[in-house]
Structure 1
Amino acid sequence: MTRPTLQGHLDGWSQGDDLRRDVASAVLALAAAGIRISELLAAGPLAGALATVRGHHADGDSQKELDVIADDLVREALAAAPVALLGSEEADEAVTLAPAGTLAVAVDPLDGSSNIDSNMSVGTIFSILPFVGADSLLQPGSAQLAAGFLLYGPQTALVLTVGAGTQVFTLDRATGAFLLSEARAFVVPETAEYAINGSNLRHWDGAIRSYVDDCQAGTEGPRGKDFNTRWVASMVADVYRILVRGGVYLYPGDARGGYAQGRLRLVYEANPIAFLMEQAQGAATDGSRPILDLIPTHLHQRVPLVFGSRAEVERIARYHGGASAMPERSPLFGRRGLLRA
């Protein structure tokens, strides 16, 4: 069986359209950078102390050695594409690459970098927008021309949408080409798996706590079925799992200092993942509002994020519907939930 290449797929999609050709050029540049990042990760400690902390961002998040290297590789690759503006998690402000370029690109060069030295999957997330001026990266997610991520795990995969469904490409090490492995990723609407960092339970608001309580009550609770918890602590790995077999991912805001709006970034994490999810028939919200409808106010804006199987994302939004819609938690109704399956 001969599988289409990423290059061939993009050539067919972009034929005859200048802006699409520019998008294709940027995607191929990101894929090339991803191959180099995956090679470093595959070498592990043989490539050096990649998990060494180099510094900290303004908000206190640590910056690892490989964060910096990945950022450099992405920037170098995109310098040859028609990208006018580049915003990165690793830089305080967006930078100009090609002043005559037609695109603005936002990236998280290495999502999940806290897992570098534990041999777990990490990735590169990207969002591609039309360049419309200095505030191009502050367009709503609905304006995205393309989005995706590279996953560096047992396989190196590129998950991509250009607004025509969500495709998965797998790196063929023998040829150095990304080959199409899933032509139409589909997130099943129903699920019995949820992903959340349960250690923060005491900090959650009532809606999130009630939702998780109802899942954990299993067959005896209001959902009438047992749920499994899955949490990789590397968002791209959780996204990939949900694309393969369904599920829902929650990273809510909570009561900890600095976490009221969650910790994920709207422009280069939530928006591209939301676009991928919507194109795979899943859904993504900030708990109640569609992510793609939100208008960013600054490059590093944080946002709560819920995504995955559509029925479950919509159910969580209903849990956030206000006090009148919350489950009763008196002793008499201690096991009674908001909604029955």
Structure 2
Amino acid sequence: MHLGRTTLSKFLIQQLAGIAGASDLGALLVDVAAAVKAISAMTAKGALGGYLGALAETNVQGEVQKKLDVLANDVLIRSCEWGGLVAGMASEELEAPYAIPAEFKRGNFLLVFDPLDGSSNTDVNVSVGTIFSVLRHDKTTPPDTADYLQPGRAQVAAGYAIYGPATMLVLSVGKGTHGFTLDREIGNFILTHPSMTIPEDSSEFAINASNARFWEPPIHRYVSECQSGRAGERGRDFNMRWVASMVAEVHRILVRGGVYMYPRDSKDPARAGRLRLMYEANPIALLIEQAGGAITTGRQRMLDVVPESLHQRVPVILGSRNEVVRIERYHAESDAGTDKPYSSPLFNERSLYRPEALA
């Protein structure tokens, strides 16, 4: 029986009541959901549809594009350009904002998106996703790049889709974070995870440990404490996870808590971080905060960061509030020079090579 279940459209009518431009915003989110269904179908087909593999081209980030990167990007643009709801769009796959063709009416919103987050995992059948953000554009003139450079707190809606065993759409319009599951029998997104809440405490963290030699001292300190488990300062054991797909990491945290870290490091001094502020960090930040979690660069609340460029990268630390607050404190203490000196037995002198051992 499908009667009595809350569909995405019904939910948006209820949630957007009293919000300026509610009708257009709701229609835009329905258009995004339609694009998500199409992308979901392509990811599910995989090799059967000829969708897997890489292209010869690289995107503006200098990354090799997967076929699904380009296809997902085209689907989102074609789904949202014609309805008179957006004034422009910006994609991680495009160097400059996408201008709405002259034959279509322009609306009062800007749509910003990462069409296929974690696309390097498509060939190995690991969950990937789509991340999107909606900003206002109340000007009568077409938007330029500067109009997109709004801090995350200015978002009117944000969300992601995750293409896993089930396709889910998780979104927020500033009234909590809510999850919908695609019912393929009826072609509708059904509310299955209302008011998602991240536990304040957790014993699970996610980080790419292969970059450990490049981490700053506060990250070394936190990870070392977690690895010490119940015998260490934290007094309990921690589990480590790493999927290399931000959407998959965030979804796990929204469901059961945890911490995800892609921190600043010294691997590439020219970049302050690895994740894109506009396409990844900001939309995820709205969802995390609306679910009671916290998200920071390590030194600043993510939603307060003022973008300087369309493809700006930032460090990201997010998840269970008490853990994120602890990591932020470690950064503050490190910057002030009041933190504990970091040491690791992995890098201490071994007795065989100490001068007294050789005497």
TM over 0.5: yes
Matched, 1:325 2:338: yes
Counterpart secondary structure, 1:328: coil
* Bigger Cα Rg: 2
- The structural deviation recorded for 1:100 is 3.0
Confirm or deny: 8 A CA contact 2:60 2:93 kept in the other structure: no
- The structural deviation recorded for 1:181 is 0.4
1:240 to 251, 267, 278: 251
- The structural deviation recorded for 1:95 is 1.6
Confirm or deny: 8 A CA contact 2:73 2:93 kept in the other structure: yes
Q: Give the distance between the partners of 1:298 and 1:331, measured in 2 at CA.
A: 38
Percent identity among equivalent residues?
Answer: 47
Q: Give the distance between the partners of 2:305 and 2:95, measured in 1 at CA.
A: 21
Could you tell me which residue of structure 1 aligns to residue 32 of structure 2?
Answer: 30
1:77 to 79, 84, 91: 79
Q: Give the distance between the partners of 1:154 and 1:170, measured in 2 at CA.
A: 11
Could you tell me which residue of structure 1 aligns to residue 350 of structure 2?
Answer: none
Which blocks of at least 5 consecutive residues in structure 1 are unaligned? 335-341
* Range with greater deviation from structure 2 (106-115 or 123-132): 123-132
Could you tell me which residue of structure 2 aligns to residue 338 of structure 1?
Answer: none
- The structural deviation recorded for 1:331 is 9.1
Matched, 1:312 2:323: yes
Matched, 1:91 2:104: no
* Range with greater deviation from structure 2 (180-189 or 52-61): 52-61
Which blocks of at least 5 consecutive residues in structure 2 are unaligned? 348-359
- The structural deviation recorded for 1:329 is 3.8
- The structural deviation recorded for 1:136 is 2.5
Superposed CA deviations along residues 125-178 of structure 1, whole A, max 9, x for unmatched, are: 000000144323100000000000000000100000000000000000100000
Could you tell me which residue of structure 2 aligns to residue 104 of structure 1?
Answer: 110
Could you tell me which residue of structure 1 aligns to residue 168 of structure 2?
Answer: 157
Q: Give the distance between the partners of 1:312 and 1:271, measured in 2 at CA.
A: 20
Matched, 1:128 2:130: no
- The structural deviation recorded for 1:80 is 3.1
Superposed CA deviations along residues 210-237 of structure 1, whole A, max 9, x for unmatched, are: 1101110111111111100011110000
Aligned residue pairs total: 333
Could you tell me which residue of structure 1 aligns to residue 355 of structure 2?
Answer: none
Could you tell me which residue of structure 2 aligns to residue 180 of structure 1?
Answer: 191
Superposed CA deviations along residues 244-295 of structure 1, whole A, max 9, x for unmatched, are: 0000000012111267412100011000000000000001000121000000
Q: TM-score, normalised by structure 2?
A: 0.89
Q: Give the distance between the partners of 2:20 and 2:252, measured in 1 at CA.
A: 34
- Residue 214 of structure 2 aligns with an amino acid whose one-letter code is H
Q: Give the distance between the partners of 2:303 and 2:58, measured in 1 at CA.
A: 29
What is the RMSD of the two structures over their aligned residues, measured on CA atoms? 1.8
Q: Give the distance between the partners of 2:343 and 2:129, measured in 1 at CA.
A: 44
Superposed CA deviations along residues 290-335 of structure 1, whole A, max 9, x for unmatched, are: 0000000111000000010000111000110143332234699x9x
